[in-house]
Structures are given as structure tokens and as C-alpha cells.
Structure 1
């Protein structure tokens, strides 16, 4: 799954990377510990133009009366995303890209302690997740929300967790965003072996209140 991530890419770099127009209310970067319900950067293609928007991480279906009216939907399983009522319309019509440096995942030792890992692209490039989004109408107006698509983990990731987020290569972005026609379902697969790498980080990141660049430092020893 994907339940925590980090992003240090400056706004200007994201604008260039995605050839997109940024909104005025984008979340601040760097953020080394992005948690569910935080605002994240969502890249959309609307009316033939790409935009970088601020979106709540945790999709809110239209029938939620309040943000806490149902389960927190931060991830959408690729195997069932086209069938689940909360996701099936969005996966067809409202897909997005979610940039990150990488994400955190946890394994457990023999004493059941949670051991954090940081997963990143082996080539050092930004990681871009495939997501879907929904504009939710609350009492205060519209709120853009998103979920990240996940798959069964393979390779190194499978030794840490059974799920991993959908990671898209730059050549796949137009198809995922609907700019290159139909067939985005074909992209819902794990990247080639060797695309991702991971290393242990300090257990400080187990707290959702932790912050700072030290969270990304490899654990010595």
C-alpha cells in the first residue's frame, strides 16, 4: 500500500516536469512526512491543459455527508478499482498523477516492532504514482480529493509489504491522464525489476508528527 510519503521537488521543477500550470494554493515543499488527509500535489489534464492542484489525500465519494462519514480511502486496489462504487467513475474519467520522492513502508521484526523503510526510484528520478480524483461537495464548497492506485508487490517490495503503489514512467503519463486515448488499464502493472530500491530509515518516522530531512537518511548499520 502507500500510507506515507515524502516530496522535496520544488514547485518550479514540478511545473517543468509535467508541463503543467500550478494552482496558487499548492502544499508547501519540502515535506518529509506526508500523511493521509494532508494536502498533496495532484496533476490533472482538464480541457486539454495540465494543472497541478492541491488535493486532499483520501478520496471522498459524493455520498459522504462529512469527510469522516465512511472509511478513509487513501488507496484503490487495481484489481477492483473499476468495480468499487467509490472509485469506478473516477478511474474512468478522472485520473491523476501524484509526484513524490518516494514512500515509506513498514516491516516487523521478531518482537513485532514496526521497522520503517523508504522506497524510491533506483535512478534517483522523482517517483510518480497513478491516482484518481473526485471533487467532493461539502458545506464549505468543493474539495478536490484523491486516492493512489495499488498493486500486488513484486521483487524487493514483496519482502517488506504485500502491496505497492502504481508507479508510472514519463512515457505513460499521457495515457494515464487520458491525453493519449483509451487503454490506461494496461498501465496497471508493477514497473520493471530494478526500477525501485529501498533502505531502512530511523523509527522516528513511525510518528506522523515527525518532520525534517533526517527522516530520509539511511539507517546506519
Structure 2
């Protein structure tokens, strides 16, 4: 059903010093109430990533240059297991359908234990390594070009890769008329068009929960008119290899990992109501 392509961007070489170029999105201390107020202020009136604040990690880079800050997930876990994981998967927690998932919240995350069993649980969307200070950045995205080599992400890339199940994501197109929200989703599936973002996870300091980030790459030809970056969407045939913690060499990861053919994705304009993360209804993904 799906075409595939080699996953080439993740394994680019070269570190960026303090890793200031490794994050796609503005970051904040997700533990602070102020951050959530900041998030609501930004997203209530403007599309995600459209505000004028500058990222503390990338001085001079507009936050509008970043991406993948909102997505949907409404496929029931049982359906996900039946279609993609027939060997079974432990589901830890309840996953309610959501049509507007924002950063800084608990999102569905799939990882593999050392014995090869799969676990789906909630993970905090905002990555901070356990060794980092509590005031360190907690980015929601990691750039594919540097994830394998950056100090912030390289351990997770080698040993803690994960999947973020989704049905699609939102992106905003800039034009002279303003910003138009688009919903990007599989074009050739039925009512539950599940896809999987490549992600990285880390244990959270002081408890038994985890935190995660979604890996992004340069946008495909069919999507770059909307935004210049997109999440790495994995081909269903390589999901277990991507998750396998025993595969840690990046050359081998490159050999076994493939992305979903972008021709299997479609982008449709949707209502401006998606700008507000408090709106969470099925009709948000309806084409306008």
C-alpha cells in the first residue's frame, strides 16, 4: 500500500557546538505555569509557530520558521495493534481521540523494551535529557540533520527511538493574505489513516515518566509550498527496526529505516478554528 524511500537526513554528520541548531521549535520550561499561559496566548490568536517571539536557541530565527507543533490522533489502540502490530502491544493508559494536540502535553508514544515487547504510553511532549538542568531547553522537535550527533539527542537516537502515532498534522502556509492552516494526512486509507512520526524519548528526572520529541526533516516537494520542514513519517515496514534498541549504529539505522513515500500524503485547507488549541473536535480536519 505504501511506497518507501531511504531515510537519509537523520544521519547527516557534524555537530553544532552547543547544539543550538538542533531544535526546530522555540523551547521553554514546560514545568512552569507561565509557559502554558504563553502557549495559549500564542495559539489562541495565531497559528502555531506564527508568533514574533524569537527562539532562545536560535537568535535571529523567527519562530515562524519552525514546524510540527500540532497533530491529531484518534485511531483506537486496538485498531492500531490489529493493523500494524499483530504481535501485540501493551497499552498503558487511556487514549482519547484528539483532533488538536498541542506541545507540552502528554501524547501517545510507542517504544520497545529490551526484551522486544512494545509499549504504548503517554509521554510528555518536550524533550529534556535526564542529565540536563531543570531549566534547560525542552524542545518538541529534533532536526534529522543533527539528531544522531548532537549532545542533546545522540544517546536517545542510539538507544531510545520511538514512534508517535498520529492521523495527521497541521501546518500553516504564509501568504500575502495571512496564514492558512492545512491538515496533512494519508491520502489512500480509510477512516483511521494512521501514520507514525519518528521520535526520540528520554526518562524524566525524578519519576517513572518519559519525555519525547518528534524528528523533522526538510519538506518534500509536494509539501514545501506549505512549509519548509515536516515530521519524518516512517514507512510501516520499518517500524520495529526503528524501535529496536539493539540497533544503535547510525549506519545500520540508516540501512533499515525508510520513510513513507510523500505521494501518499495529501494536504487540505482547514478552518482557522484549529489555531486555538482549546478547540478539539472532529470537524477541525474537514476541508474548507
Above 0.5 in TM-score? yes
Aligned residue for 1:215?
Answer: 284
| Deviation string, structure 1 residues 147-180 (Cα, Å, up to 9, x no partner) | 1111111122111011111111211112101278
Residue aligned with 2:180, SS: strand
- If asked which structure has higher relative contact order (CA below 8 Å, sep 6+), I would say 2
- Within the candidate set 202, 227, 233, 1:134 is matched to 202
> Which protein shows a greater Rg?
2
* Residue correspondences, number: 212
The whole-number CA distance in structure 1 between the counterparts of 2:237 and 2:81 is 17
- The equivalences for 1:131-170 within 5 A come to 131-138=199-206, 141-170=207-236
- The equivalences for 1:25-104 within 5 A come to 25-26=93-94, 28-46=95-113, 47-66=115-134, 69-104=135-170
Residue aligned with 1:155, SS: coil
Residue aligned with 2:104, SS: coil
Calculate the TM-score normalised by the size of structure 1.
0.88
Q: Where does structure 2 lack aligned partners over 5 or more consecutive residues?
A: 1-66
The whole-number CA distance in structure 1 between the counterparts of 2:100 and 2:280 is 6
Residue aligned with 2:274, SS: helix
Q: Where does structure 1 lack aligned partners over 5 or more consecutive residues?
A: none
CA-based RMSD of the aligned residues comes to 1.9
Aligned residue for 2:15?
Answer: none
Residue 119 of structure 1 pairs with residue 152 of structure 2 = no
Q: From the two aligned structures, give the one with the greater strand fraction.
A: 1
